[in-house]
Amino acid sequence: MATLVGLLGELLMTAGVVLGLFVVYSLWWTNLLADRAADRESDRIRDRWEQAMDGDGKPGGLDTKDGIGFLHVPTMEDDQILVKKGTDPKVLDDGAAGYYTDPVEAALPTSGKDGNFSLAAHRDGHGAKFHGIHKIREGDPIVFESKDEWYVYKVFEILPETSKFNVGVLDPVPADSGRKKPGKFITLTTCTPMYTSEHRYIVWGELVRVDPVDERRTPPKEIKNS
């Protein structure tokens, strides 16, 4: 009997190790595939932007074919995150951040209007573009790069955990952010705790300025000095 119990224990331990290795491998593999997909699309976008430069060296209008631009969050130590339309798996699983179209439609910064530019991305697996979201602190910069302009935001509030059903955080004046009046906001959302989808981690920023894109696409100081 003791031998049988010992054998069963060894089998359970082996199964646990195998399962753990499978999880690690799965996360690594989905990250690799997602990064490759995002890099391909990013290259296409930047090639099109370069080709669209007119004779005066000025960029053209918003391009949404493969993505609308790139997110730069120095605190998360990610050089650039491709931003695309929608938050369904076919967008996020390819290593991009997606802006919400449902249940609350995001306000694109390129519109120039007040609203909430709300985004989602994976925190683990599939590129894990918001993996380091917990490193962000109040006062940190978040920069969105479009074809025409750099939109520089400053983080003003962080909500480490809220219900995944709390869609108010996506409102034009986001609930729980402390803001009561309309403004030009950005919201980053992802799952928490790590490796689960039980709750949501929220970061809010507010637009502080807009810089034009020059011929060399020189990034703002918030990115260069990071």
Q: Is 134 exposed, middle or buried (0-12, 13-18, 19+ CB in 10 A)?
A: middle
Residue 150 has phi, psi (to 5 degrees) of: -105, 125
The secondary structure of residue 35, as a DSSP letter, is H
Residue 165 has phi, psi (to 5 degrees) of: -95, 0
Helix or strand run (H / E) with residue 198: none
User: Could you list the active site residues?
Assistant: 191
β-bridge pairing 78-85 and 141-145:
unpaired
CB 108 within 8 A of CB 116: no
